[in-house]
Amino acid sequence: MSNLATIAHLIGDPSRAAMLQALLPGEALTAGELARVAGIGAAATSGQLKALVESGLVSVHAQGRHRYHRLAGEEVAAALETLIALPQTSPRRSWPHGDAFRQARLCWHHLAGRLGVALYDSLTTDRWIEAAPGGWVATEMGEARLGKLGVDLVEARRATRFACDCMDWSERRPHLAGGLGREITSMLTRRHWLRRIEPSSSDTLLRRRLTCTPEGARALSSEFGITA
Amino acid sequence: MSNLATIAHLIGDPSRAAMLQALLPGEALTAGELARVAGIGAAATSGQLKALVESGLVSVHAQGRHRYHRLAGEEVAAALETLIALPQTSPRRSWPHGDAFRQARLCWHHLAGRLGVALYDSLTTDRWIEAAPGGWVATEMGEARLGKLGVDLVEARRATRFACDCMDWSERRPHLAGGLGREITSMLTRRHWLRRIEPSSSDTLLRRRLTCTPEGARALSSEFGITA
DNA sequence: CTCTGCCTTCGGTCCCCCCCGAAACAAAGA
DNA sequence: TCTTTGTTTCGGGGGGGACCGAAGGCAGAG
């Protein structure tokens, strides 16, 4: 069977899809948590997770009597977001949780949504980063200013070559992913410019939401010229 | 049901996946041709195509007693390529038709594979094109040189905003898609620098293959600095 | 050690959906 | 009009796989 059909079939089951969506922010969840998200029993969950792991979409990490599952990599998260983005072509539909969710959310530890796209645009037009073969590089000026803001550029460069351009399904635009995206998002939350909402919610979408603090709005405006 | 599961379930059936792959180059095929590709009867094919059309993945165009089907848009092609790219992480597997297929192929009318990535790199490093919010723009120098080569820049700009960066599954790198990608590829084949192989083959992969003519190899080297 | 909690394996049921053959419909040509 | 070719609709059959309940490992707490 073709690769395409195999992978898509795995994602195509409602239960497995719910689990994958729950894993989209990038954190690891136990089998029990995923069972609750998918709304199925423990036995069924175990089988589904086994299939996901064997296919390479999900990786496991046993710790005590828990088994922590996470997406196998950033490419998986990007592919899922791409698929989610597909049906929303012409007429922008309304979304659960409305604009709030479209505003800012996590996708594999980086920033997506309107804010993520705005940040990406700001970095490119102000030439903090530039396109280069194999990914993106920070310009000299960009390195200096990002470093000053507390972004760990060494850590950012340790990422895979697949360095940028995750498709954003709500904005239908690429945004900043990869190591740099992760480190910038880390900085933004560390400085309390962005805050996570309800990480414990059972709602898959809610768990990914981020909000901008008043302090963060001012900072984003002065540092990046973004009006949040 | 979630959007993700619905779409992925459609792609996840072997017959439908085969049809979608056959449509990847961007041309329209009749229901009968797709039936042959998928290896199922006409009745089953009709039902599957109906589902694909209703979901918005595929569009139809009736002409006489034939019904021509094509992918609904470039985003669909990009999403399929992204999915195909997923499992090929660490150990580069060998491919049907070997390196030849990885070398150059069509993806929704633009150039993919090693050659497509090389072209993308050449255009960015030589600054014929630059990243800009919402897509890519040709620099002044790029416009002049592309125009001289016979690329229809007016037509290229008529494309959607989703202008670039289709993920390349064999190279795991973005390459030049969108209106500009299509027009450049059109120029390359019009000048017989690239030639299509076996557009009538029943093999889904073969049908997408492109080869570089001797003349084209010289031209690509002198014009873009690409050693094909 | 025992008990409790998390997870897996096994056996079995059930349903979705994928396919085919037959018939009907539509369009073009003889 | 009759035939041929391309496609759709209908009815029915069959297989894959998704779920559950029960039972069995493991790991940690008491």
Q: Given a cut of 80, is residue A1 above it in pLDDT? A: no
Alpha-carbon distances of A172 from A3, A114, B74, B100, B149, rounded to whole Å? 26, 10, 12, 33, 31
Q: Given a cut of 60, is residue B161 above it in pLDDT? A: no
Higher confidence at residue A20 or residue B78?
Answer: A20
**Cross-chain Cβ contact B12/A10 below 8 Å:** yes
Nearest nt to the B44 alpha carbon by C1':
C19
- Nearest residue of A to residue B90 by CA position? A56
Q: Given a cut of 90, is residue B29 above it in pLDDT? A: yes
The answer to whether A127 contacts chain B (CB < 8 Å) is: no
Q: Which helix (DSSP H) or strand (DSSP E) does residue B175 occupy?
A: strand B173-175
The answer to whether B13 contacts chain A (CB < 8 Å) is: yes
A-chain residues near B11 (CB < 8 A): 4-5, 8, 12
Q: Given a cut of 60, is residue A82 above it in pLDDT? A: yes
Mean pLDDT of B195-222: 81
The answer to whether B76 contacts chain A (CB < 8 Å) is: yes
Nearest nt to the B63 alpha carbon by C1':
C27
Per-residue confidence (pLDDT) for residue B227, from 0 to 100: 80
**Cross-chain Cβ contact B20/A1 below 8 Å:** no
Per-residue confidence (pLDDT) for residue A100, from 0 to 100: 56
Per-residue confidence (pLDDT) for residue B162, from 0 to 100: 43
Beta strands at B166-168 and B173-175: parallel, antiparallel or unpaired: antiparallel
For A197-206, the pLDDT digits (tens) are 765 555 666 7
Nearest nt to the B40 alpha carbon by C1':
C19
* Protein residue nearest nucleotide D16, by CA to C1': B13
The answer to whether B18 contacts chain A (CB < 8 Å) is: yes
Q: Given a cut of 60, is residue B97 above it in pLDDT? A: no
Mean pLDDT of A189-198: 88
**Cross-chain Cβ contact B82/A78 below 8 Å:** yes
Distance in angstroms (rounded) separating the CA atoms of residues B43 and B116: 38
The answer to whether B206 contacts chain A (CB < 8 Å) is: no
Q: Range with the lowest mean pLDDT among A149-158, A202-211, B3-12?
A: A202-211
* Distance from CA(B33) to C1'(D6), angstroms, rounded: 11
Nearest nt to the B60 alpha carbon by C1':
D7
Q: Given a cut of 60, is residue A71 above it in pLDDT? A: yes
Band of pLDDT at residue B197, cut at 50, 70 and 90: confident
* Protein residue nearest nucleotide D8, by CA to C1': B46
Q: Given a cut of 70, is residue B82 above it in pLDDT? A: yes
Band of pLDDT at residue B21, cut at 50, 70 and 90: very high
Question: Taking CB atoms and an 8 Å cut-off, how many pairs form between chains A and B?
Answer: 144
The ipTM estimated for the assembled molecules is: 0.88
A-chain residues near B124 (CB < 8 A): 131-133
The answer to whether A9 contacts chain B (CB < 8 Å) is: yes
Per-residue confidence (pLDDT) for residue A179, from 0 to 100: 86
Band of pLDDT at residue A33, cut at 50, 70 and 90: very high
**Cross-chain Cβ contact B4/A20 below 8 Å:** yes
Higher confidence at residue B158 or residue A129?
Answer: A129
Q: Given a cut of 80, is residue B52 above it in pLDDT? A: yes
For A106-165, the pLDDT digits (tens) are 988 999 888 988 898 899 889 998 877 766 788 999 999 999 999 999 888 887 544 556
Higher confidence at residue A40 or residue B112?
Answer: A40
Mean pLDDT of B41-70: 96
Mean pLDDT of B93-122: 77
Distance in angstroms (rounded) separating the CA atoms of residues B185 and B180: 8
For the record, the structure tokens of A186 come out as 């880390």
Domains identified in chain A and CATH numbers: 3-72 (1.10.10.10), 75-224 (no CATH)
> How high is the mean pLDDT of chain A?
85
Higher confidence at residue A99 or residue B217?
Answer: B217
- Choose the closest CB to B75 out of A86, A125, A130: A86
Q: Given a cut of 50, is residue B60 above it in pLDDT? A: yes
* Distance from CA(A35) to C1'(D24), angstroms, rounded: 20
Q: Please state, for a pLDDT cut of 90, what percent of chain A lies above it.
A: 52
Alpha-carbon distances of A181 from A172, B134, B136, rounded to whole Å? 18, 18, 20
Higher confidence at residue A87 or residue B23?
Answer: B23
B-chain residues near A9 (CB < 8 A): 8-9, 12-13
* Distance from CA(B67) to C1'(C25), angstroms, rounded: 15
| Cα angle, residue A121 at apex, residues A120 and A123 outer, rounded to 5° | 65
Alpha-carbon distances of A203 from A18, A27, A44, A103, rounded to whole Å? 10, 15, 20, 17
Per-residue confidence (pLDDT) for residue B121, from 0 to 100: 86
Distance in angstroms (rounded) separating the CA atoms of residues B58 and B115: 28
**Cross-chain Cβ contact B12/A17 below 8 Å:** no
